[in-house]
Amino acid sequence: MSLLGLEDRQWIFLATVVFVVTAALGTYTALKLHRKARRPYTLVLVSFGWILQTIGLYARGLEYGGCPLSNQFELVQFMVWSAIALYIFVGPAFRVSFLGMFTSTFASVFSILSLTIQSWDSPSRTPIFGDSPWIETHAALALFSYGVFGILALTSVMYLLQSRSLKQKNMGGLFPYMPSIFELTQINFRLLTIGFLILSASLAIGAVYWSHEIDSVDLPKLGTTIVVWFAYGVLLLLRFRQTLSYKQYSWACISVFAAALLSLEAVDQPKAKESLLPDSAPPARSP
């Protein structure tokens, strides 16, 4: 749908450009100019990109009067939107320097992927989660938790980079601009807890809906969702009991997030669409 003279995908394309510029500027400033891009500049740029993305998603949502969660393109965009929102609104409390640069890189990569792979923006115009506001809340919360887990994967990467630099005594590159490994372990724990609680709340809402309409949920979707929730739950328990080393824990956070992303495929699986799609669905869109 067109809003303010631009199509929804065009707004999202512009947002992606802003995310790419932010990531490129942050990297250039650190590696070439040996300076850290100041947080206000990064925040303004990322927020600008986020506003453009919000307009794009809003335009998409207007088309079918609900949350734009009807195909993989929209699921990925909503997850990126959630991660950026978390950085903008909760990020300052984390006090993790350079998180803006990593978040914009994350947003750039997933946004470019979702814009490039045409099949992700399949011709579904009916939300795959149905039209109940509760099930929409369930879906939005689940994807928001994926945004949190995305940030967790980023801070895990930051931990591994910092720890490796300290071990190898390599003080160049991004090392001087990133936070201490202790701060990163603390923030990782908080992100895992927040993400797990949000995902649990989402599943609780989904379970209530499911118990009323037991046929509405496909087994692969239910299975993968429970596996992702269980995996993060186990990680949280292991982290709490200090069973894993921080290095193992960081790798686990990255791996589980990668697996969680793959589970989006199951969420957007054909059976669900077939049951919900009207007969005359519009064709896939191009930017």
Partner 1 sequence: MSTHHGELLLITINHETVSLEERERYSLDDEQIKVLYEALHRSPVIEESLILNTCNRFELYSKTSDPKSGEAIAFETLGSFYNIKREEVESHARIRFGQEAIKHLIEVSAGLRSQITGEAEIFGQVKEAYATCQQLGYSGRLINRMVQKGFQAAKLIRHSTPIGEGQINISNVAVDLSLKIFGSLKNTSALVIGTGEIGGKTAKALKSRGASKFGVASHHSERANEIADEWGGNPHTLAELETYLNDYDIIISSTETDSPLLDARSLEKHMDARKNRPLFLIDLGLPRNMDASCQEIENVYLYNLDDLAKIAEDNLSERRAAIKHSEEIAAQKSASIWQTLESRGLVNFQ
* Interface residues toward partner 1, by CB under 8 A: 34-35, 162, 166-167, 169, 171, 175-176, 179-183, 185, 242, 245-247
User: 169 or 212: whose CB is closer to partner 1?
Assistant: 169
Q: How far is the CB of 106 from partner 1 (least distance, A)?
A: 23
User: 83 or 154: whose CB is closer to partner 1?
Assistant: 154
DSSP string, 83-112: HHHHHHHTHHHHT-TTHHHHHHHHHHHHHH
CB contact at 8 A, 237 and 229: no
Q: How far is the CB of 283 from partner 1 (least distance, A)?
A: 52
Q: How far is the CB of 182 from partner 1 (least distance, A)?
A: 5
CA 2 to chain centre: 25
Q: How far is the CB of 36 from partner 1 (least distance, A)?
A: 10
CA distance 72 to 180: 36
As beta bridge partners, residue 2 has: 7
User: 245 or 280: whose CB is closer to partner 1?
Assistant: 245
Structure-token pair, residue 244: 């894993």
CA distance 256 to 181: 21
Q: How far is the CB of 187 from partner 1 (least distance, A)?
A: 10
User: 196 or 246: whose CB is closer to partner 1?
Assistant: 246
User: 176 or 223: whose CB is closer to partner 1?
Assistant: 176
169 SS3 class: coil
CA distance 82 to 187: 18
Q: How far is the CB of 251 from partner 1 (least distance, A)?
A: 12
CA distance 115 to 199: 26
Q: How far is the CB of 169 from partner 1 (least distance, A)?
A: 5
Give a three-class secondary structure readout of 20-82.
HHHHHHHHHHHHCCCCCCCHHHHHHHHHHHHHHHHHHHHHHHHHHCCCCCCCHHHHHHHHHHH
Q: What are phi and psi of 275, to 5 degrees?
A: -75, -20
User: 71 or 162: whose CB is closer to partner 1?
Assistant: 162
User: 96 or 203: whose CB is closer to partner 1?
Assistant: 96
CA distance 102 to 258: 16
